[in-house]
Amino acid sequence: MTRQQQVVIVGGGVIGLLTAFNLASEAQSVVLLDRSNVGQESSWAGGGIVSPLYPWRYSPAVTALAHWSQDFYPQLGERLFAATGIDPEVHTTGLYWLDLDDEVEALAWAERENRPLRAVDISAAHDAVPVLGVGFSRAIYMADVANVRNPRLVKSLKAALLALPNVTIHEQCEVSGFIREGATVVGVQTTAGAIRRDQVVLTAGAWSGDLLKSLGLDLPVEPVKGQMILYKCAADFLPSMVLAKGRYAIPRRDGHILVGSTLEHEGFDKTPTESALESLKASAVELIPALAEAEVVGHWAGLRPGSPQGIPFIGRVPGFEGLWLNCGHYRNGLVLAPASCQLFVDVMVGREPIIDPAPYAPEGRI
């Protein structure tokens, strides 16, 4: 791609927003389209832990993206805050994992990857997190794990894009298909009419697979529903993130506590359910008994873009010149976004990539 190229990006979640942000300095113009309002799907609905929930259980491909992003997030947050006045709140609290079945594997992974994860006495965990439930016997802890306040990250990225003269955002603009000239994709059909550009980038999360079907492609990305609940407590109520039995509690700086999440294969249904609410409440009280007296101030569902092994698709679509993917991040879209979007632009403009792009290439995976 040359600097004279014009690019259209389909999907305005964190991946689409950050792809547009990184491409703005490389392309003549960037148009970002979203079927509703930007960042209102999984980017808004997720918890925002800047780590895979169990990083040692993932492939090296996910680990490579996660490590780069974790190291980059603080400066991304500072840059966006300075540019927009909207703080994404990259909040380093550390994370305690409790009563893990694979603690030995976790510690071996940490030593191999040189990550600051260590076993701690359960009494030390209770000293650090006095509200922690008493039913746990073992803990491991990583001190440098942050969380990002994802709705504020979305707002900050949108504001940063709106300030750039060569970026345009079209919300409430649903894409129904692609415009082709032979084997080349030269634009998209939308509810607002045809939009023709030199390059088309698909960052539509859980909807990416459906869009590619119109080209006869079978992209293995499917919606995976996740439900969350939100409590409001004192600002210093929970000093660290805690995780047990697949459920976690995340403190925000203002005392909001997020508890999540479910894993449900229900298609594109995002209806919150009473059964999930009760299950999440039970997990919350097991982790932090004092939450039994706290009010649930929010309960919602979102759709993750599920993919094989959670490895995203980053790069050119084989057989279709001008069409690119940056999608399929499953549970780790917020975690992997900085690295994924930097790697994507590196590949697109032909720069030396930050990491080996081969594991994410769509070729051979579609």
How far apart CA 283 and CA 277 sit, in angstroms, is 10
Residue 120: the pLDDT is 98
Query: What is the per-residue DSSP string for 129-192?
Result: -TTS-S----EEEETT-EE--HHHHHHHHHHHHHTSTTEEEE-S--EEEEEEETTEEEEEEETT
For the chain, give the mean pLDDT.
Answer: 96
Range of the domain at 228: 95-143+222-306
Same structural domain for residues 274 and 320? no
- Asked if residue 101 is part of any domain, the answer here is yes
Residue 283: the pLDDT is 97
User: In the chain, pLDDT over 70 holds for what percent of residues?
Assistant: 99
CATH number assigned to the domain comprising residue 188: 3.50.50.60
Cα distances (angstroms) measured from residue 142 to each of 46, 58, 114, 118, 130: 21, 17, 12, 7, 18
Is residue 19 very low, low, confident or very high in pLDDT (cuts 50, 70, 90)? very high
Q: By the 8 A CB rule, do 251 and 227 touch?
A: no
Q: pTM of the entire structure?
A: 0.96
- Asked if residue 60 is part of any domain, the answer here is no
pLDDT over threshold 80, residue 3: no
Mean pLDDT of 48-56: 96
Residue 4: the pLDDT is 81
pLDDT over threshold 70, residue 102: yes
How far apart CA 38 and CA 16 sit, in angstroms, is 9
Cα distances (angstroms) measured from residue 305 to each of 69, 102, 353, 357: 19, 26, 24, 20
Same structural domain for residues 157 and 26? yes
- The token duo for 147 is 């969380």
CATH number assigned to the domain comprising residue 134: 3.30.9.10
Same structural domain for residues 231 and 102? yes
The residue whose two tokens read 């603690």 is 103
How far apart CA 69 and CA 76 sit, in angstroms, is 9
Same structural domain for residues 279 and 321? no
Same structural domain for residues 163 and 300? no
Q: By the 8 A CB rule, do 36 and 12 touch?
A: no
Q: Name residue 249's beta-bridge partners.
A: 242, 259
Same structural domain for residues 298 and 159? no
- The token duo for 277 is 């609410």
Residues 6+ apart with CB under 8 A from 252: 89, 91, 147, 149, 258
- Asked if residue 199 is part of any domain, the answer here is yes
pLDDT in tens, 322-354: 999 999 999 999 999 999 999 999 999 999 999
Is residue 2 very low, low, confident or very high in pLDDT (cuts 50, 70, 90)? low
Domain count, the chain: 2
Neighbours of 192 (CB within 10 A): 12
- The token duo for 295 is 């009010």
Same structural domain for residues 126 and 238? yes
Same structural domain for residues 215 and 226? no
- Asked if residue 56 is part of any domain, the answer here is no
pLDDT in tens, 287-297: 999 999 999 99
Q: Which letter does DSSP use for residue 39 in this model?
A: T
pLDDT over threshold 70, residue 150: yes
pLDDT in tens, 67-90: 999 999 999 999 999 999 999 999
Residue 13: the pLDDT is 97
Same structural domain for residues 243 and 216? no
Q: By the 8 A CB rule, do 192 and 173 touch?
A: yes
- Asked if residue 314 is part of any domain, the answer here is yes
Sheet holding 241-244, edge to edge: 117-120, 139-142, 95-98, 241-244, 247-251, 256-260, 222-232, 296-306
- Asked if residue 181 is part of any domain, the answer here is yes
Mean pLDDT of 54-61: 96
SS3 track for 86-111 = CCCCCEECCEEEECCCCHHHHHHHHH
Same structural domain for residues 228 and 347? no
- The token duo for 332 is 């780790």
Same structural domain for residues 110 and 197? no
Same structural domain for residues 113 and 171? no
Sheet holding 167-170, edge to edge: 167-170, 29-33, 6-10, 199-202, 323-327, 313-316
Of the residues 306, 327, 343, the one at which a domain ends:
306
pLDDT over threshold 80, residue 53: yes
pLDDT in tens, 193-225: 999 999 999 999 999 999 999 999 999 999 999
